[in-house]
Amino acid sequence: MPYGAVLLFAAAAATQGQSRAPARTADLVLRGGKIVTVDDDRPLAEALAVVGDTIAAVGSNQEIQPQVGPNTRVIDLQGALAIPGFIDAHAHFTGVGEAARNLQLSTAKDWDDIVYVGGAKGSRTRSSLMSYQRPPDFYPLRTTLKSSRSAEGRCGRGSRSI
């Protein structure tokens, strides 16, 4: 047998039974959780590997472990559910921002509560700019809420009556 053929045969025999290392380690690995795969044959996995912006593999923790490299960000889900690729396209982010910007007076019982909430918010609304003394043109909150109730006795826009 020629010398080159012997070397080729020896190299092939030496690598027989060894698994190949992944071509590239994952950038992100989620493991230890319940990962929804949307695959009828395997609806849940316990780990997931991401390379770049692509889900590269899903499987058990042991199946994904070889893709963890020194620069891989690993997140232990601690049994939590992950739904990769799910995007909530019906979120009202502007509403959340508006709510955070406005004073929440639904639990205010009197003028002191309004001043406290306005001062804590650090807002530039009229109530926080007023002096601590109730101004003569300010209607008590209870009167204001009573006048804005519906026929059923409810306040508008989800406010509760006092």
The domains of the chain are located at 23-82, 102-154
Q: Could you tell me if 51 and 24 are in contact, meaning their C-beta atoms sit under 8 angstroms apart?
A: yes
Q: Which fold has domain 23-82?
A: Urease, subunit C; domain 1 (2.30.40)
If one compares 144 and 99, the residue with the highest pLDDT of the two is 99
Q: What is the pTM of this model?
A: 0.44
Q: Looking at residues 76-87, what average pLDDT do you find?
A: 89
Residue partners of 132: CB distance under 8 A and separation at least 6: 115
- Give the pLDDT band (50/70/90) at residue 112: confident
The candidate with the shortest Cα–Cα distance to 71, out of 86, 57, 50, 89, is: 50
Query: What residue type is assigned to position 99 of the chain?
Result: A
Q: DSSP secondary-structure letter at 80?
A: -
65's tokens? 């472990």
| Residue 9 Cα distances to 6, 15, 18, 21, 88, angstroms | 5, 10, 16, 21, 55
